[in-house]
Copies of this chain bind each other. A is one copy, B any other.
Amino acid sequence: MGNADGLVFPGTEVGGLECAHRVPVPPTRPFWETLKANLKETFFPDDPLRQFKGQTTSRRVVLALQYFLPILEWAPRYTFAFFQADLVSGITIASLAIPQGISYAKLANLPPILGLYSSFVPPLVYAMMGSSRDLAVGTVAVASLLIASMLGKEVSPSQNPTLYLHLAFTATFFAGIFQAALGFLRLGFIVDFLSHATIVGFMGGAATVVCLQQLKGILGLHHFTTATDLVSVMESIFSQTNQWRWESVVLGVAFLFYLLLTRFLSKKNPRFFWISAAAPLTSVILGSLLVFLTRAEHHGVQVIGELKKGLNPPSFGDLTLTSPHMMLALKTGIVTGIVALAEGIAVGRSFAMFKSYHIDGNKEMIAFGMMNIAGSVTSCYLTTGPFSRSAVNYNAGCKTAVSNIVMAMAVMITLLFLTPLFHYTPLVVLSSIIIAAMLGLIDYEAAFHLWKVDKVDFSVCMGAYLGVVFGSVEIGLVIAVGVSMLRVLLFVARPRTTVLGNIPNSMIYRRMDQFSEAQAVPGVLILHVDAPIYFANSCYLRERISRWIDEEEDRLRPKDEGSLQYVILDLGAVGSIDTSGISMLDELKKNIEKRGLQLVLANPGSEVMKKLDKSKVVEAIGQEWIFLTVGEAVGACSFLLHSHKPGVAAGGATTPSDHHV
């Protein structure tokens, strides 16, 4: 073993048995203190009360108000220059909000006017409570579709429109309550469980489904399936080919082409973002004029028809908190609420990142919740921060949430005076607007990136996509979340154990499968565990580690490299351990001793040390066999290997050499 000594010296030099560092057992803190600390880490990782420290009471009140109403914090610093920017962006998003609002309302099988109502009250609430400067509030396609599919299962929007409407309000109310509750209970992290991969797949699937739904409008069909899955949509389309109206097909395709063209142009030259931003409104105007002039509504082109003037009527009385359908509304509210949250917060965070300001997830949830509660009693349905609208807002150079106020004002004026103009707006145009918006949501590039970087994430993404397209929106969501959870559990259930080797001329020990230059240390097997040791993996680890030892001995037996005598367990990556894990280590120690080997622990974390100590396993293993680093552990072992038999040093463990070599 020529290079052995070369390996030994750096070890003994710094970490020989005599001058090695000891791993201290952290002082035991009282139970409640630990619990408090853990709860704080879990629920207040951002430490929101930090700013309150050492402030006068009056100041604290102000800070508290500013916490819940961020407008109080930035309004004083608001300038005219800001207002100019916000005015422009506000009008721009309004021109997008009006047609989109109407389209999405129809997607949710709700009266079109609700789309406008929903772009009036909620934005005002968010402007006061929201902490994002770029988020533009409004209804979104996916949530609208979800409402339609979930409520539609039990109540038909055509046969029982009033009940359906009331249930939509109630669902919005519950969604608001749920969102606000999540925020107040600091459960923001629940949203984090919807991974990026999940959202990509889910959004893509939803977009696909929404586009399919629009074929109804494009083809000018009167009857259409309520199911959202690919199969039944295709069936209901090709079962009534005789119903297809070429007029509306022509109109629809023309406008779709126009919308995509403008988007393409804006993409090529960002200065012209407003072209694509204004495109929906212009196509609505063009479409309406066309129909008005050609009387096309009598030739199979369906139009919006009467939109009644006036602002949001109160809908507090419409909340159905008693009827047998309440549970349905509750379920719908929770599902749509969490989906809306996921989109809104994701959007808010990404723009906050561009401009590098911070967004408090829990605070945002409260804002979303409040805006939906307010909306539910003023004839609005579920709103959040749609990506498309927020992107336009950002491109239009908005500075603060005032752009939302401007949008709301524009919508108010529309509601008061301009609704009649939408009488002749053809539905097919709305369909084209939705399709154009949805095509932007199918992020195949992201999916490809997932495939390239992480196959598991890709399968999560595809699971969500296929689940939504062939099953239903809920199924897709369940599949995606399920697979994601399974991945986490599997990581813990099957932790990777790897053999470490010495990086030549250093005291560094690294995975031999990762570092080709790493060399094994004769007589010593160094194993690295890279996950917490829990009940879920303790049995696996025990068996896997003993298999490593078997294989090592098989490897050594033929060669004359001397026999295995020490097993070093590198616990550096073992972040946490439970009682099953502790007893696993205890058993492992016994088994290894039975084989005449010595177990050595390296670099255990404080939690591990604490529990090893409390459960008396430290004594069993022996403080002298626990080292601060792998290097020092190896140093000590090699030192003993070359001085005298380990048995003597290990205190009692019989030397294995006879029955192994």
Contact = CB atoms under 8 A, between A and B. Distances in A.
A535 interface: yes
A629 B615 CA distance: 32
A471 interface: no
A606 interface: yes
Contacts of A47: 547
Contact of A536 (B452, B488, B605): B488
A543 B454 contact: no
Contact of A493 (B14, B46, B189, B492): B189
Contact of A197 (B532, B579, B628): B579
Contact of A506 (B21, B34, B356, B457): B21
Interface stretch (A141-149, A151-159, A367-375, A568-576): A568-576
A491 interface: yes
Given A35-B455, A488-B489, A489-B485, A495 B575 contact: yes
A46 to B, nearest CB: 5
A195 B535 contact: yes
Contacts of A572: 572-573
Contacts of A579: 195-197, 449-450, 453-454, 457
A489 B485 CA distance: 8
A362 to B, nearest CB: 11
Given A14-B506, A580-B195, A573 B45 contact: no
A361 B538 CA distance: 13
A538 B192 CA distance: 8
A418 interface: no
Q: Do most interface residues of chain A lie in helix, strand or loop, or is the interface mixed? A: helix
Contacts of A189: 493-494, 536, 539-540
Nearest to A587: B353
B361 A539 contact: yes
A289 interface: no
Interface string A318-335: 000000000000000000
Contacts of A194: 535
A444 interface: no
B587 A494 contact: no
A442 B122 CA distance: 58
Contacts of A485: 489
B490 A488 contact: no
Interface in A469-519: 484-485, 487-496, 503, 506-508, 510-511, 513-516
Number of copies: 2
Interface string A531-546: 1101111111001101
Given A45-B544, A605-B530, A576 B491 contact: yes
A24 interface: yes
A591 interface: yes
Contacts of A46: 543-544, 547
Interface string A591-624: 1001000000000011001010011000000000
Contact of A535 (B21, B197, B544): B197
A72 B61 CA distance: 81
A456 interface: yes
A31 to B, nearest CB: 7
A257 interface: no
A605 to B, nearest CB: 7
B450 A590 contact: no
A217 to B, nearest CB: 36
Contacts of A573: 530, 572-575
Contacts of A493: 189, 192-193
B582 A453 contact: yes
Interface in A176-222: 189, 192-198
A358 B196 CA distance: 43
A284 B194 CA distance: 61
A514 B605 contact: yes
Contact of A511 (B196, B492, B605): B605
A41 interface: yes
A395 interface: no
Nearest to A595: B356
B361 A614 contact: no
A539 B453 contact: no
Nearest to A195: B535
A494 B40 CA distance: 11
A26 interface: yes
A276 B531 CA distance: 44
A297 interface: no
Nearest to A191: B539
A232 interface: no
Contacts of A492: 488, 491-492
Interface in A105-137: none
A583 interface: yes
Contacts of A41: 494, 496
A42 interface: yes
Interface string A445-462: 000011011111100000
A578 interface: yes
A405 B539 CA distance: 30
A620 to B, nearest CB: 14
B606 A514 contact: yes
A490 B42 contact: yes
A510 B197 contact: no
Interface in A270-299: none
A547 to B, nearest CB: 6
A230 to B, nearest CB: 27
B195 A453 contact: no
Nearest to A609: B514
17 contacts: A26-B513, A42-B494, A45-B543, A45-B544, A189-B539, A192-B536, A192-B537, A195-B580, A197-B579, A349-B539, A449-B579, A452-B614, A453-B614, A457-B578, A485-B489, A508-B629, A510-B628
Given A46-B547, A192-B538, 10 more contacts: A31-B455, A47-B547, A193-B493, A193-B535, A196-B580, A356-B594, A454-B582, A485-B489, A488-B489, A496-B575
Q: Lowest 6 CB-CB distances: which A-B pairs, in order?
A: A195-B535, A530-B575, A514-B606, A573-B573, A196-B580, A457-B579
